[in-house]
Copies of this chain bind each other. A is one copy, B any other.
């Protein structure tokens, strides 16, 4: 069989001679054993993305001269335990689910123009409200140990990413200030229906990074027709990290609201850290989340993990999480089922390989 290798050597060659035009193939294969236990039922699974989503992507950049560049980024989510892909939303509403489990550039699908005043980016990308969730979580919002500080259930079909997005990113030369403004379209007919603006939304994120410090604030609002059951979804959060030698402290505050008037509100906090020791990282986190639903359901979680780096590209990892529920909450970990006010725990054991 004829092989077509794309090797590290090529980077140097391209970097030196032709930096102005390149296409990069990249990916992550992160597969792990995921075990969860709860008061109702336990579950064991082989799963994907224990320390960050498995993926396959193509990206490139072209130097257009005069400080201007064009770039693209196509990144598909993978479930490496079974080979299927992810799904995306064509319209930021539940009606727009697409992909059907085939390979889909659900993680990112963008084209950009960039120069010294910033980057204009079009397509599907993270919701600006999502960055803080993984940047300031020692576990990168992945696996059994991920922060419990917010609830996807409250954020509707766009907890993580938005389609049909128009983004402007601040340039990187602002003395540590960074930021992005995002607008996205629900693409419904403007026909005077109550739901004609569903899926439209926008947000902004502003941060400051200098030396050991990195802090960022973000807020978004997605429009949904305000009926008894639903309504506009707003999500606001503030997170930060601070390096002290081999230790990094992290924390975040999250607030979500569904319905503009007497809606349901959820609030969460997280506090954690990473301690680098030898070729490894020890991680720990405490997080909590409660909503204004009947009974004021609340879940508190402790997480512990260790990542051992076999190389820059490959690591082994283990993680543990334990969640306690009260006020009627029934949060469960790793696919287990637990009863109201009962605890749940789980652990992950996996390998992550990037290319």
29 contacts between A and B (CB under 8 A): A4-B7, A4-B11, A5-B23, A6-B25, A9-B18, A10-B13, A10-B14, A29-B74, A29-B109, A31-B111, A41-B191, A43-B190, A45-B164, A62-B314, A68-B310, A78-B109, A82-B98, A82-B123, A83-B104, A83-B107, A84-B105, A85-B102, A85-B103, A100-B102, A102-B102, A111-B351, A113-B351, A122-B351, A189-B336
Whether A29 pairs with B187 at a CB distance below 8 angstroms is no
Chain A 100-118 interface mask (CB, 8 Å, partner B; 1/0): 1111111111110100000
* A335 smallest CB distance to B (angstroms): 7
Which one of B58, B84, B336 contacts A99 once the chains associate, using CB atoms below 8 Å?
Answer: B84
Which one of B7, B41, B124 contacts A23 once the chains associate, using CB atoms below 8 Å?
Answer: B7
User: Is residue A70 within 8 Å, beta carbon to beta carbon, of the partner chain?
Assistant: yes
Distance between Cα atoms of A109 and B30 in the complex (Å): 11
User: Is residue A244 within 8 Å, beta carbon to beta carbon, of the partner chain?
Assistant: no
Distance between Cα atoms of A136 and B312 in the complex (Å): 41
Chain A 45-81 interface mask (CB, 8 Å, partner B; 1/0): 1100000000010101010110010111010101111
Distance between Cα atoms of A106 and B60 in the complex (Å): 23
Residue ranges of A at the interface with B (Cβ–Cβ < 8 Å): 1-11, 13-15, 17-18, 21-27, 29-33, 40-46, 56, 58, 60, 62, 64-65, 68, 70-72, 74, 76, 78-85, 87-91, 96, 98-111, 113, 122-124, 163-166, 184-185, 187-191, 310-314, 335-337, 350-351, 353-355
| With contact pairs A74-B78, A101-B99, A191-B40 given, residues A4 and B355 touching in the complex (Cβ less than 8 Å) | yes
Whether B43 pairs with A21 at a CB distance below 8 angstroms is no
Contact residues of A: prevailing secondary structure = strand
Distance between Cα atoms of A98 and B313 in the complex (Å): 29
Distance between Cα atoms of A30 and B72 in the complex (Å): 10
Residue of B nearest to A76 (CB): B103
Whether B9 pairs with A17 at a CB distance below 8 angstroms is yes
Distance between Cα atoms of A88 and B79 in the complex (Å): 11
Whether B56 pairs with A74 at a CB distance below 8 angstroms is yes
B residues less than 8 Å from A190 (CB atoms): 41-44
Whether B353 pairs with A62 at a CB distance below 8 angstroms is yes
B residues less than 8 Å from A79 (CB atoms): 90, 109
* A7 smallest CB distance to B (angstroms): 3
Which one of B1, B11, B32, B355 contacts A5 once the chains associate, using CB atoms below 8 Å?
Answer: B11
Which one of B8, B24, B111 contacts A29 once the chains associate, using CB atoms below 8 Å?
Answer: B111
Residue of B nearest to A14 (CB): B7
B residues less than 8 Å from A123 (CB atoms): 29, 31, 46, 80-83
B residues less than 8 Å from A184 (CB atoms): 46
| With contact pairs A109-B81, A113-B351, A124-B82 given, residues A6 and B4 touching in the complex (Cβ less than 8 Å) | yes
Whether A82 pairs with B74 at a CB distance below 8 angstroms is no
Distance between Cα atoms of A44 and B91 in the complex (Å): 11
Whether A7 pairs with B10 at a CB distance below 8 angstroms is yes
Which one of B22, B76, B163 contacts A81 once the chains associate, using CB atoms below 8 Å?
Answer: B163
* A46 smallest CB distance to B (angstroms): 4
Which one of B25, B45, B80, B109 contacts A4 once the chains associate, using CB atoms below 8 Å?
Answer: B25
Which one of B3, B56, B83 contacts A106 once the chains associate, using CB atoms below 8 Å?
Answer: B83
Whether B1 pairs with A6 at a CB distance below 8 angstroms is no
| With contact pairs A43-B189, A80-B111, A189-B335 given, residues A313 and B2 touching in the complex (Cβ less than 8 Å) | yes
Whether A5 pairs with B29 at a CB distance below 8 angstroms is no
